[in-house]
């Protein structure tokens, strides 16, 4: 995932850990006592004693999320399983299930991973029955007045994250004048030929940014074919390599670079602001999807975690868990988070027609993968 970053936005929203815990503890879970059966679920969850939540580290600073849940529901032991990558999470859960061990209750990770591996593997329970709290059930609390899912049935892979996306074009600020690039198509001009470096997607890697580009009505497959096939792009697989090349000026433009550390070090790199380009921006879920595993060992405790996490309190914890410079375009799809915890660039504009990226008909990575393979064969 590649996000817009700007040197003038280096300031990170810093909230002390003590302040985070105080804020979370002071918030009320709205409507918990109003929903029939909620107290019974809480009692049953306490009897189950624990909940197992598997999550990738890309979800955010998981300690903030875990501590928030433990403070709200101390009667339930949280067995938090943190995995480095989405592929690691898939490998672990599927290996456990093949061995007849149904250990996971809830999974947090990228929508494409939950969809392509868990939904298609038929290992998820229907999600709506897990939603109990009125403040979670109420569609008016969510962007566009609806719950968002990435599976065709709209029942299995729930997405809660809102990340601003634009074409993932990064540049060296000492070499490139952003006024030269007012459209994504401008980087296909002859003067940039041989001067672009780009990430070559790794096996089992689905890029939200590339899905966005592929399906964008003003960009589409033709742009990617020309970029990857005709512009004499130099590819990298190590993200640090791409950033180093960009920062040193070896290549003035990069496609799909990661800039957080370079910008924190004050290096002359940044990303094109999505609102700067003619092509409209998008809203994607990044790594913000949640699913309930079928045959879960603690069904009631799983419901308690799901409802807390998708409540206003839980989504504030999610937002505060994403407080790096790279995350200033990320918030929740909930509409009622306090403005003070939502960075300016993450706030959705009321008059902006965003392209919704995390949707069922955009989850298939194979067309993009086939296009990239064809482009590589053309270069050889």
Interval 331-354: pLDDT, tens = 999 999 999 999 999 999 999 999
What Cα–Cα distance (Å) separates residue 95 from each residue in 92, 98, 218?
5, 5, 42
Same domain, 256 and 291: no
Interval 7-43: pLDDT, tens = 333 333 344 443 444 444 444 444 434 556 899 999 9
Structure confidence at residue 113 as a pLDDT band (50, 70, 90): confident
Same domain, 144 and 250: no
Residue 380 has pLDDT above 60, yes or no: yes
Report percent pLDDT > 70 for the chain.
88
Provide the pLDDT for residue 204.
53
Provide the pLDDT for residue 238.
86
Average pLDDT over residues 139-166: 96
Provide the pLDDT for residue 252.
97
Domain residues for 368?
167-280+364-379
Average pLDDT over residues 279-301: 96
Same domain, 193 and 264: yes
φ, ψ for residue 221, nearest 5 deg: -60, -35
Provide the pLDDT for residue 379.
66
Same domain, 115 and 30: yes
Pairing of strands 282-284, 161-165: antiparallel
- The verdict on residue 224 lying in a domain is yes
Task: Give the Cα separation of 358 and 362 in Å (integer).
Answer: 7
Residue 230's domain is classified under what CATH number?
3.40.190.10
- The verdict on residue 3 lying in a domain is no
Same domain, 341 and 247: no
> Locate tokens 């504030």: which residue?
316
Nearest Cα to Cα of residue 276 among 189, 326, 345:
345
- The verdict on residue 355 lying in a domain is no
Query: Can you give the pTM of this predicted structure?
Result: 0.85
Interval 241-280: pLDDT, tens = 999 999 999 999 999 998 878 888 899 999 999 999 999 9
């Amino acid at each position: 995932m590649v996000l817009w970053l700007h040197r003038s936005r280096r300031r990170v929203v810093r909230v002390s850990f003590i302040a985070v815990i105080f804020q979370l503890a002071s918030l009320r879970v709205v409507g918990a006592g109003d929903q029939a059966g909620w107290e019974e679920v809480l009692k049953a969850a306490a009897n189950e004693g624990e909940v197992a939540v598997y999550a990738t580290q890309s979800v955010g600073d998981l300690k903030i999320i875990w501590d928030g849940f433990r403070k709200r529901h101390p009667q339930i032991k949280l067995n938090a399983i943190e995995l480095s990558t989405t592929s690691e999470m898939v490998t672990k859960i599927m290996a456990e299930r093949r061995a007849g061990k149904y250990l996971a209750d809830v999974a947090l990770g990228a929508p494409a991973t939950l969809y392509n591996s868990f939904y298609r593997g038929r290992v998820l329970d229907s999600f709506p029955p897990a939603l109990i709290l009125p403040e979670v059930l109420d569609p008016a609390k969510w962007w566009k007045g609806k719950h968002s899912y990435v599976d065709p049935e709209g029942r299995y892979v729930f997405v809660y994250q809102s990340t601003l996306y634009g074409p993932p074009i990064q540049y060296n600020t000492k070499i490139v004048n952003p006024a030269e690039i007012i459209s994504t198509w401008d980087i296909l001009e002859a003067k940039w030929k041989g001067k672009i470096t780009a990430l070559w997607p790794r096996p089992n890697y689905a890029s939200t940014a590339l899905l966005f580009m592929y399906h964008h009505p003003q960009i589409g497959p033709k742009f990617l074919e020309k970029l990857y096939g005709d512009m004499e792009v130099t590819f990298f697989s190590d993200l640090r390599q791409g950033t180093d090349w960009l920062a040193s000026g070896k290549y003035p433009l990069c496609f799909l670079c990661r800039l957080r550390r370079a910008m924190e070090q004050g290096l002359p790199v940044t990303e094109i602001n999505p609102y700067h380009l003619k092509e409209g921006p998008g809203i994607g879920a990044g790594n913000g999807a949640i699913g309930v595993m079928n045959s879960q060992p603690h069904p009631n405790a799983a419901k308690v975690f799901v409802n807390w996490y998708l409540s206003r309190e839980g989504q504030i914890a999610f937002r505060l868990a994403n407080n790096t410079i790279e995350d200033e375009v990320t918030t929740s799809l909930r509409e009622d988070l306090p403005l003070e915890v939502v960075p300016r660039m993450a706030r959705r504009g009321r008059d902006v027609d965003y392209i919704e990226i995390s949707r069922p008909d955009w989850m298939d990575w194979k067309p993009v993968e086939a296009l990239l393979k064809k482009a590589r064969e053309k270069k050889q």
